[in-house]
Amino acid sequence: MRSPMNLNLGKRAFSRDKVYIDRLAVQANIGPDCWNRKVPQNCQVSLELETDFTKASQSDELQYSLNYAVISKDVAQYVDSRKDFRSLGNLSQQLIRYVKEKYKGIERAALTVNAPEAHIRCQNVALTLRAPMDNEKPDRLVISGLKLLTLIGVFTFERLQKQYVTVDIEMPWSAQNGSEIHYQKTIDEVCEYVESSNFKTVEALVECVTQVTMNNPFFEANPDAFVTVKVIKLNAITATKGVGVSCTRMAKDFLGKGPMVVVKALETSKSFDLPVASKTPVIPGKSSTAFLAFGSNVGDRLSNIQYAIDLLAAHPEVEVRQVSSIFESEPMYFQDQRLFLNGCIEVETQLIPRELLELCKQIEYEELKRVKEFDNGPRSIDLDIIFYKNGDGDHIVLTTEDLVIPHPRLLERTFVMEPLCELISHDEVHPVTAEPVFVHLNQVYDQERDADILWKVIPLPQVDGKDRFLKFKNKPKSGITANSDVPVSDTISPTLTMGILNTTPDSFSDGGCFNDNLDLQLSRVKSIVQEVLNLSKQVIIDIGGCSTRPNSKQATLQQEIERTIPLLRAIRACSSLPQSQMVLSIDTYRSEVAQLAIEAGVDVINDISGGKFDPKILSVVAKNPNVAYAMSHIRGSIHNMNEKTNYDEGFESDDVRERCGGLEFPEGKAPLIRVLGRELASQYTTAVGFGVKRWQILLDPGIGFAKHSAQNLEIIRNLGILKNYSMQTNSTFVNFRNIPVLVGPSRKKFIGHITGDTKNASDRDFVTGAVASACVGYGADIVRVHDTANCVKSIKMADALYRSL
């Protein structure tokens, strides 16, 4: 019998020389094999023998050293003559005692026996013994390559399908007092536990395996004994064979923790099942915050969405706080159906998750008469709870048969994450993955999947019962380029041309050309339509009845109405015009004009004041969610805007956190565009507060309005920043995520300053075409021009150069 194991660390003498025998093949009966048969198994014996072979090395004579050839032969014969050792422990003990006693030149010996056929579930079982006992390196049993199939991970594909992990276990070994650790029992217990359980993280898995391994009387008697477990998750990262973790624990680390409990998967075969260690409670008396995803592809999709939002808002215990833009997306899972309109809603609610789910289902099935013929099929409306946070802002994580929070498929759906990222902070962390949602969205985009390209759509009034949109196909790449500090915007939709028609006698470039003659105005509209539609599928016509040039005398309300509304009615009544391809815009800042224009069939309210001159215009827009709103930047008034061009004042005075495409701005970079972004974000917040939907809003940086020539150029160069600008303070945040941008450089004075064409504005048309091309290259989605015949060609060429059409 070997001396009892001493688990305390100690010191030993230094040995200079070693002789090795590596994996000597033998056959021995060491108990049941991988098929539970008591037959000889193929084993490998390795020896590390400490000795002193100074004389042999100096004399080059074998007689003064250990003869590894002889030792190998003797070991093989010894094993062959005693085939039935009954266990791996007995074989190892007898072998090391035999070698140590027979060869007096061995000062210390370490023996390892590998038994690759010991158990069908693992690649190898190895036992390492030392003689004499080594306090620094106690005897160890190693189980390696244990391959298990379990449910692990947080992503949808991981929750719906088990995956392989490999487990290596290293533990102390001792045969004293009959407490030998039986590896077969340990392997069986680990396999049963892991393959019946359900884990979110590999860290939890490795900890549980360690605790299961210590289910043995030996560890009760040796609380300082330690076990090391390594778990590799196979094929988890595409570029690797596997990733994982290891941990080392002492038996006493698990004192008082009780027996292991299997966390089983749900019985429903295709249910998303995520284990929940603890539930964050809803706090009585405090409103919770929930984020809902909506989708519709049956009937009047926009009306379905708006009706669902109204029903949510009508509930006494629900307040709708934010609504995202709308995205048109290809159907997932079942492709043979109509395109979806998708978005997200933020609500404040007193309803607990179960009650909120019941309200969503009531809206779906009772109010909007959803018919569910099969999973992922067509639907009039779909409302899903994405996140739910209690009154303290803590995420609630929930897994039941019919409700999982966070939504299990969130991280694979750009049509949910994209609108969600408009409503949440860049720092918002997914409560299960512990990574920001913005990071997950970028990871999906980085995979370059065509299915993840979304159309951001601005709904317009229907024509002949058919949907009409302004559509912007974007696949954003977050970040600021190293060279220019301008974010890359991989916009791949054609740029739209907006043709200008002023019906005023005093506009800066075309005043008096088309006023007071409806036939002439209608003829010009037809020309614009023909010129643009020759190269484009859609044309925007912007009708103006009040000059907005600096210091101009403003038309009266009645004058503006008389100049614009009859023309709008005539355009909509003209049967020779392609109404479905023609988008009508009214250039006005007056709420009364906007209302009459909408009644006359206008699609876009183009407000150079962004709601500053007449805030009631925001209420008009809010009541018409299928009308677009071009919100322009301006400072001051028509009469003093040229005195408001200092954008450096107070730039660093307030505590504002700004980002561009998800990244922090470099210190001191782009002060003009950042201040412009702040002021537009403030206007944007005001508009949303009036009830204007995000899906209605276009941004216009206001070229020429409270900006001098150099500033106009800087704005054009930094349109990409404006499209992706985010501002966050302690109380609010605004995320512009590839927001559509309208730019109006046509015939502006800054062009004349550069080219010398200062007398006649129309002389700047040729260069306007060049500027329009630059605007396209820097990220504009709509360019407003006078000379549509030529500028549409410049825009078309710029699209071919800068965008993948």
Q: Stretch 16-45: mean pLDDT, rounded?
A: 88
Torsion angle defined by CA atoms of residues 295, 296, 300 and 303, in that order, rounded to the nearest 10 degrees: -30
Say which range, 438-452, 692-706, 740-754, has the weakest mean pLDDT: 438-452
* Tens-digit pLDDT profile for residues 173-187: 876 644 567 888 899
> What pLDDT, on a 0 to 100 scale, did the predictor assign at position 558?
96
> What pLDDT, on a 0 to 100 scale, did the predictor assign at position 513?
64
* Tens-digit pLDDT profile for residues 36-82: 788 899 999 999 998 888 776 776 666 667 888 999 999 999 998 88
Measured CA to CA, the distance from residue 548 to residue 607 in angstroms comes to: 10
Measured CA to CA, the distance from residue 157 to residue 726 in angstroms comes to: 32
Is residue 582 scored above 70 in pLDDT? Answer: yes
Is residue 464 scored above 70 in pLDDT? Answer: yes
Neighbours of 648 (CB within 10 A): 9
Q: Stretch 500-523: mean pLDDT, rounded?
A: 76
Please name the helix (run of DSSP H) or strand (run of DSSP E) that holds residue 441, with its range, or none.
helix 437-446
Q: Stretch 408-431: mean pLDDT, rounded?
A: 89
Joined tokens for residue 36: 């539970």
More confident: 134 or 564: 564
Which of 83, 96, 143, 155 has its CA nearest to residue 116? 143
> What pLDDT, on a 0 to 100 scale, did the predictor assign at position 11?
44
Q: Stretch 236-249: mean pLDDT, rounded?
A: 80
Joined tokens for residue 108: 């210390």
Say which range, 65-74, 189-198, 307-316, 510-519, has the weakest mean pLDDT: 510-519
> What pLDDT, on a 0 to 100 scale, did the predictor assign at position 10?
42
Measured CA to CA, the distance from residue 347 to residue 385 in angstroms comes to: 11
More confident: 660 or 577: 577
Is residue 485 scored above 80 in pLDDT? Answer: no
Fold (CATH) for 1-138: GTP Cyclohydrolase I, domain 2 (3.30.1130)
- Kindly report the CA angle at 512 between 509 and 517, in degrees rounded to 5? 135
Phi, psi of 629 (to 5 degrees): -130, 110
Selection from 361-365, 430-434, 694-698 with the highest mean pLDDT: 694-698
Joined tokens for residue 261: 């409990």
Measured CA to CA, the distance from residue 652 to residue 634 in angstroms comes to: 21
Which of 417, 478, 401, 479 has its CA nearest to residue 452? 417
Beta strand pairing call for 226-234 and 41-51: unpaired
Q: How far is CA 602 from the centre of its chain?
A: 37
Say which range, 138-147, 274-283, 635-644, 732-741, has the weakest mean pLDDT: 274-283
Q: Stretch 329-345: mean pLDDT, rounded?
A: 79
> What pLDDT, on a 0 to 100 scale, did the predictor assign at position 36?
76
Is residue 259 scored above 80 in pLDDT? Answer: no
Report how far apart, in Å, the C-alpha atoms of 548 and of each of 24, 334, 463 are: 94, 51, 31
> What pLDDT, on a 0 to 100 scale, did the predictor assign at position 269?
40
> What pLDDT, on a 0 to 100 scale, did the predictor assign at position 14?
53
Please give the mean pLDDT across all residues of the chain.
85
For the chain, give every residue range classified as CATH 3.30.1130.10. 1-138, 142-275
* Amino acid in position 452: D
> What pLDDT, on a 0 to 100 scale, did the predictor assign at position 284?
85
> What pLDDT, on a 0 to 100 scale, did the predictor assign at position 371?
67
- Report, in this order, helix, strand and coil percent for the chain, each rounded to 5: 35, 25, 40
Report the percent of the chain where pLDDT is more than 90.
Answer: 54
Measured CA to CA, the distance from residue 33 to residue 222 in angstroms comes to: 29
For the chain, give every residue range classified as CATH 3.30.70.560. 288-452
Q: Stretch 566-592: mean pLDDT, rounded?
A: 96
Measured CA to CA, the distance from residue 70 to residue 63 in angstroms comes to: 12
Is residue 250 scored above 60 in pLDDT? Answer: yes
Q: What is residue 782's three-state secondary structure?
A: strand
Fold (CATH) for 142-275: GTP Cyclohydrolase I, domain 2 (3.30.1130)
Joined tokens for residue 660: 């561009």
Measured CA to CA, the distance from residue 696 to residue 324 in angstroms comes to: 10
Beta strand pairing call for 340-349 and 326-329: antiparallel
Measured CA to CA, the distance from residue 585 to residue 125 in angstroms comes to: 77
Which of 774, 782, 780, 762 has its CA nearest to residue 801? 774
Q: Stretch 219-225: mean pLDDT, rounded?
A: 87
Q: Which residues lie below 8 Å from residue 254, measured CB to CB, with a gap of 6+?
A: 211, 214
Is residue 492 scored above 70 in pLDDT? Answer: no
Measured CA to CA, the distance from residue 749 to residue 508 in angstroms comes to: 10
Which of 199, 722, 156 has its CA nearest to residue 417? 156
List alpha helices for 142-238, DSSP H: 156-159, 183-196, 202-213, 217-221
Which of 583, 471, 603 has its CA nearest to residue 525? 583
* Amino acid in position 547: S
Which of 596, 508, 515 has its CA nearest to residue 563? 515
Give the chain's length. 805
> What pLDDT, on a 0 to 100 scale, did the predictor assign at position 714?
93
| Residues 275/286, Cβ–Cβ less than 8 Å | no
Say which range, 139-143, 370-374, 412-416, 639-643, has the weakest mean pLDDT: 370-374
Joined tokens for residue 765: 């048309």
Q: What is residue 296's three-state secondary structure?
A: strand
Q: Kindly indicate whether the domain formed by 460-802 is annotated with CATH number 3.40.50.300.
A: no
Sort 385 into a burial class: Cβ within 10 Å, 0-12 / 13-18 / 19+: buried
> What pLDDT, on a 0 to 100 scale, did the predictor assign at position 477?
47
Q: Kindly indicate whether the domain formed by 288-452 is annotated with CATH number 3.30.360.10.
A: no
Which of 618, 328, 662, 612 has its CA nearest to residue 487? 662
Measured CA to CA, the distance from residue 436 to residue 243 in angstroms comes to: 21
| Residues 586/605, Cβ–Cβ less than 8 Å | yes
* Tens-digit pLDDT profile for residues 386-401: 999 999 999 998 888 8
Place 157 in a pLDDT band, splitting at 50, 70 and 90: low
As beta bridge partners, residue 26 has 43
Is residue 366 scored above 70 in pLDDT? Answer: yes
> What pLDDT, on a 0 to 100 scale, did the predictor assign at position 687?
96
For the chain, give every residue range classified as CATH 3.20.20.20. 460-802
> What pLDDT, on a 0 to 100 scale, did the predictor assign at position 676?
93
| Residues 510/760, Cβ–Cβ less than 8 Å | no
Joined tokens for residue 707: 């900006």
**Tokens 């740029």 — which residue?**
495
Q: How far is CA 159 from the centre of its chain?
A: 18
Say which range, 304-318, 577-591, 662-676, has the weakest mean pLDDT: 662-676
Q: Stretch 127-152: mean pLDDT, rounded?
A: 89
Q: Which residues lie below 8 Å from residue 186, measured CB to CB, with a gap of 6+?
A: 143, 169, 171, 213, 216
Measured CA to CA, the distance from residue 475 to residue 492 in angstroms comes to: 8
* Tens-digit pLDDT profile for residues 743-799: 999 999 899 999 998 888 888 999 999 999 999 999 999 999 999 999 999 999 999
> What pLDDT, on a 0 to 100 scale, did the predictor assign at position 6?
43
Report the predicted TM-score, pTM, of the whole model to 2 decimal places: 0.74
Joined tokens for residue 94: 């007898």
